[in-house]
Structure 1
Amino acid sequence: MTRDNGRITGNTSVEGDHAMTLRSTVPMAQRSAIVAVLAAFAFTPAAAAADPGTALPELPELTDGHGLTIVDQPEWVADSDRTFVFSVATDEVPTPSLQPGQDPGEHDIMITLPEDYDPSAEYPVLYSLHGNGDRADSAANRQMGERATRDEPVITVWPNGGRSWYSNWVNPGDQGPQNWETFHLDQLIPFIDDNLATDASREGRAIAGHSMGGFGAFHYAQHRPELFSYVGSFSGGLDLLSPEMRAAVVATTLDPASGVPTTTPDAIFGSPVWPFDGVWNAQSPAQNVEPLRGMGVAMYAGNGGDLTVNPIQAVIENRARQTAVVTSANLTAAGIPHDFLDYGDGSEWAPGCTGKHSQIACLQADLDHFVALFTDRR
């Protein structure tokens, strides 16, 4: 059997659906800042068709464990002999927010295997975290993952992240537990190691992500540095002390384009307003860099390029870059080596990259470079 993952979700009308949501819930003085940053976290690139497959390899048979229950066993994504999708349920996040086409209570997880995958080998694993408004099993993610690892013996895991901000929520309310960090780190990672041919050591594991996922990658690596040897952020929102970042997170809790049901502004990190913002401060990757010492660290961002062309995505990338600038400064002050690929308008980074947020050409180059860093380090 095969599965068609040619679905790309996300809101392309920030002044439409987003503005309608914000108009009824947020004071006038805050709307423009929130709308201006929200679009950055909706990932809506066009998908590319995969090459037709030939004879499909045998799919792995997965076994329940570590708190995860298999809902759907693996199915090959249409026209691929390397990428499959399966679904699990977990009591840590029993009711995730849903994008169109997703099933209640289920988490789709996409896996890209190395070419000529050998179940008796031990492959390094890259955990790749999607942005807000995107989904793990989008065709764009599949395309980028397969291209970046075409000649690399790496397993790529794309977990469902919903609107999670890759955190255990402080005030989940009626949605019930939203313990995304526990789901991904304490359940999914050992589950993958039990069911696939992985190198289960720290040196055999890396984590990276785009936008909200870049925040998540740093957040996870800082909380559990014993799990990862390399961490990467692709235009991630890394500075929770920034008012723009706080507005973006709050807006994603209120906006249906980030998933349904929506929730309350304080659901994820509590109140963003001083003096009640202690969780925001404690969880901000930019200011809490010490756990990254000894780990490979890479950040990628453009400056938005021509701000009159696709201005929302341009401005958002520009502000995401600023969070990387702050993080880089703090890493430098702490004496922690890192790579900051600050590629400006993108003209020298990749053909078709113009320095905007959520551009496939930019993200493909980011992922290609990061995979090479990770595999070279081993």
Structure 2
Amino acid sequence: MTPLRLTAFGAALTLAALTGTGAAHADAPTAAPAAAVSASTVPGFSDGYGLTLVPGSTEVHSPTDFTITVTTKQLSGKHRIRILLPAGYDTDPGRRWPVTYFLHGGGGNVNDVAAAPALHSDSMITVVPDGGLKGWYANWLMQNTAEGAANWETFHLTQVVPFIDANLRTRVGRAHRAVVGLSMGGYGSLHYAQARPDLFGHVAALSGGIDFGKPEIRAAVLATELNLTGAWCAASSSSSSSGSGQCAGYGPYVDSDAIFGSPYPVFGADRVWKAVDPAAPANLAKLSGTGITLYTGNNDLIDVHTEVASKTVKSRLDQLGIPSRLVNYGNGASLAPSCDGGHNYGCWAPAFADYIPRLEAAFTAAG
């Protein structure tokens, strides 16, 4: 192990110690078991865009809430996509709908959406693709780790999005498509909106790791690679088998350079980190014409860093003349009684309840 790797390990350990093993995360409602509803009550899907459906794997929670499972050469194993339809989807067959993609946080999965009821809207389709326990919405630099193939960005942007458009009655075009996420998914949402401004006209990042210039955020990524639980887990309805809301882990240990390469600014070693940094002015400039919303608290050892990151992004957007909205709810008192200003669904659920009506209005205004 090189001295740099030892330093990376130490940095990740430090962050894990600061955040504790899930201690910073409040419990969220446990996911309801799938209802006894036949798969024939939900829309049929066909293979395409590199995705192959796993036969007999559809989980039907209700006629407007179901999960399909797919395989792809871009990722090892099977991966779920949870889909929430508006109530009128079946009864109004001539109508097409805008789509919001929800990106879950580290240590979470597609069932986390159950903890944010506002995301199940009667004005849009919500799609929740698997993002991996530590996928970081990236095409990993290393493809030969214990995780195997890990091209998450390709999976989401060039496979899932067109697959959904081909199988559901969606409204295509960036004005009718949003990407939102929290924690690790907050990074993913802002990065995806920058990588593909042609796809997404609206973006929201909640308590996101959105400034790779911050050593603490780079250390959080390292902690997930090394499976040091407690570092930015997304406490959710499914983060542990007990439903306690505590993060169960990030999967197998992988090399500390596996996702974005070396995090150290030595002779350009951190070039990938810089290239995908959502807070980099060159990347923020790509969001011109995009509806941008940021939410953060500042009342625990995680959101104290997301607050700084969100303020940095907001300031740089202002300097670029790009409109954006930052909701800094501090200790949570201004947001909701359930919110303590920390890194949890007690804050994220009401944040989405604030955001979704605004997004619905933007979709309606787009015609």
Using structure 2 for the length normalisation, give the TM-score.
0.83
Residues 191-340 of structure 1 mapped to structure 2, 5 A cutoff: 191-255=163-227, 257-275=248-266, 276-287=269-280, 288-304=283-299, 314-340=300-326
Aligned equivalents of 1:280, 1:49: Cα separation in 2: 35
1:19-30 equivalences under 5 Å are 28=10
Task: Indicate the residue corresponding to 1:128 in structure 2.
Answer: 102
After superposition, the Cα gap between the structure-2 partners of 1:357 and 1:84, relative to the gap in structure 1 and judged at 3 Å, is: same
1:161 and 1:203 map into 2 onto residues whose CA distance is 24
* SS class of match (1:268): coil
Stretch of structure 1 that moved more, 152-161 or 222-231: 152-161
Out of 125, 128, 149, the position equivalent to 1:158 is 128
Shift of 1:108: 1.0
| Equivalent AA in structure 1 for residue 151 of structure 2 | N
Q: How many residues align?
A: 329
Matched, 1:351 2:337: yes
Question: Structure 1 pair 262/376, CA: closer, same or farther in 2 (3 Å)?
Answer: same
- Kindly report the root-mean-square deviation, in angstroms, between the aligned alpha carbons of the 2 structures: 2.5
Find the aligned partners of 1:39 and 1:284 in 2 and give their Cα distance: 27
- 5+ residue gaps, structure 2, are 1-5, 229-247
Q: Secondary structure at the match of 2:101?
A: strand
Secondary structure of the 2:139 match is: coil
Name the CA shift for 1:227/1:91 in 2 (closer, same or farther; >3 Å).
Answer: same
Q: Which residue of 1 aligns with 2:143?
A: 172
SS at match of 2:47: coil
Answering whether residue 60 of structure 2 is matched by residue 76 of structure 1, we say yes
Secondary structure (helix, strand or coil) at the match of 1:106 reads strand
Task: Give the counterpart of 1:106 among 78, 89, 113.
Answer: 78
| Aligned residues of 1:41 and 1:131 also touching (Cα < 8 A) | no
Q: Distance in 2 between matches of 1:353 and 1:242?
A: 25
Residue 365 in 1 paired to residue 321 in 2?
no
Equivalence for 1:308: none
By how many angstroms is 1:255 displaced? Answer: 0.3
Instruction: Assess, with a 3 A threshold, how the Cα gap between structure 1 residues 203 and 26 changes in structure 2: closer, same or farther.
Output: closer
CA separation in 2, counterparts of 1:64 and 1:153?
A: 26
Q: Deviations over 1:310-340 (max 9, x none)?
A: xxxx110111111101111111111100000
Instruction: Please list every run of 5 or more consecutive structure 1 residues that lacks an aligned counterpart in the other structure.
Output: 1-23, 96-104, 305-313
Q: Deviations over 1:236-273 (max 9, x none)?
A: 01011111011100110010754332211000100001
Judge conservation of contact 2:28–2:115 (CA < 8 Å) in 1.
no
Work out the CA distance in 1 between the residues paired with 2:291 and 2:301: 28
**Percent identity over paired residues:** 39
Structure with more relative contact order (C-alpha pairs < 8 Å, separation 6 or more): 2
Report if aligned partners of 1:40, 1:316 keep a CA contact under 8 Å in 2.
Answer: no
* Structure 1 pair 66–29 and aligned structure 2 pair: CA distance change class (3 A): closer
Instruction: Give CA-to-partner distance per residue, 1:223-242, whole Å, 9 cap, x none.
Output: 00000110000100101111
Whole-angstrom distance in 2 between the partners of 1:277 and 1:184: 24
What is the deviation of 1:220? 0.5
* Equivalent pair of 1:43/1:132 in contact (CA under 8 Å): no
- Separation (CA, whole Å) in 2 of partners of 1:42 and 1:110: 27
3-state SS of 2:323 partner: coil
Q: In the alignment, is the contact (CA less than 8 A) between 1:110 and 1:136 conserved in 2?
A: yes
Q: Is 2:187–2:209's contact at 8 Å kept on the other side of the alignment? A: yes
Separation in structure 1 between the aligned mates of residue 9 and residue 17 of structure 2, nearest angstrom:
12
Letter of the 1:90 partner, please give it. Answer: T
2:43 is matched with which residue?
60
Q: Secondary structure at the match of 1:86?
A: strand
Deviation at 1:112, TM superposition (A): 0.8
1:167-210 C-alpha deviation (Å, 9 max, x unpaired): 11112323433111000000000000111111122111000001
- One-letter amino acid of the structure 1 residue matched with residue 118 of structure 2: R
What residue is the counterpart of 1:35 in the other structure?
17
> Is 287-296 or 360-369 further displaced after alignment?
360-369
More moved, 50-59 vs 153-162? 50-59
Moved over 4 A (4+): 24-30, 37-44, 48-57
Deviates more, 1:209-218 or 1:367-376: 367-376
